[in-house]
Amino acid sequence: MEENHVNNSALYFEKGQLSYCGQDCRRIPPALQKMYGAKVRCLDLSYNSIETLKGLEQFGRLEELILDNNKLGDGISFPYLSNLRTLSLNNNEIIDLEELVNKISKHFPALSYLSLLSNKACPNQLSDIDKDDSDYQRYRYFVIYMLPNLRFLDSRRVSSAERKEAAIRGEFMRVRRPPIDEFDAPLTPSLQARGPPVRPMPLDLGALGKHRGAYGKCNYKYTGKHSEGNRFILNSDL
């Protein structure tokens, strides 16, 4: 679809809520920025092909931003939005978790809800069948540590116990990813002498002496027409 063209039949605007979904847009249409930027508090651009957020700075009153099912990657750039409380980035192409949360911390100081399900940056079975509940819990500790104002992460409220654990251990829960070709490159003589490359064993949370329960399987709930993870939250919870 032409980026400067707006399909009016797919456009919904009422009481500060703007929805423009399923239109294969690669960016925010300039027409939406011009017509609605100053009026919008909630912007839903799910099910497009958005690769850049250029123009988002026009939505200065934004409190909720839903970008599920797009093509946003690690090069994503955010404007400073002082009022943004909800950010949903489910099912995009984000890999580098630390880079993302650093950007969020700098640009969205009021953020209290974040959802990253079905991105490789979110290590659970929705994005990687090799991940388990302990991988996901370490991810939660790290994100909560980096974004201490969060009240919801993905489909779960941040508990007081998680917040305490994150304050103690979250800094050490960074997900380290090897360079893409580290394990695919041919072995040099020096590497052959040392043997094949190995990956570190996963961290055993129980061995740290602070774990007080077992983590069960996470149940993820889809309740919205377009967004995946935040429609079930009541306004009183935010």
Confidence of residue 198 (pLDDT cuts 50, 70, 90): very low
Q: Decide if 41 contacts 16 (C-beta within 8 A).
A: yes
Contacts 24+ apart (CB under 8 A), 123-130: 123/175, 124/218, 126/220
CATH at residue 153: 3.80.10.10
Q: Comparing 21-25, 36-40, 104-108, 190-194, which segment has the lowest mean pLDDT?
A: 190-194
**Which tops the pLDDT comparison, 182 or 40?**
40
- The residue range of the domain holding 21 is 8-193+201-230
CA-based R_g, the chain, Å: 20
- Residue 147 has a CB neighbour count (10 Å cut-off) of 21
Q: Is residue 25 part of a domain?
A: yes
Is 236 a domain residue? no
Domain membership of residue 237 (yes or no) is no
Two tokens at 14?
């009422």
Cα(155)–Cα(149) distance, integer angstroms: 16
Q: Is residue 156 part of a domain?
A: yes
101-160: pLDDT as tens digits: 999 999 999 999 999 999 999 987 665 666 678 889 999 999 999 999 999 999 899 999
Local confidence band at 168 (pLDDT 50, 70, 90 cut-offs): confident
Count the domains in the chain. Answer: 1
Residue 206 lies in a domain: yes
The candidate with the shortest Cα–Cα distance to 52, out of 30, 23, 22, 72, is 72
In a domain, 32, yes or no: yes
| Helix or strand run (H / E) with residue 42 | strand 42-44
Is the pLDDT reported for residue 199 higher than 50?
no
Average the pLDDT over 38-52 and give the result: 97
Give me the pLDDT at residue 6, please.
87
**Residue at 50 is within a domain:** yes
* Residue 235 located in a structural domain: no
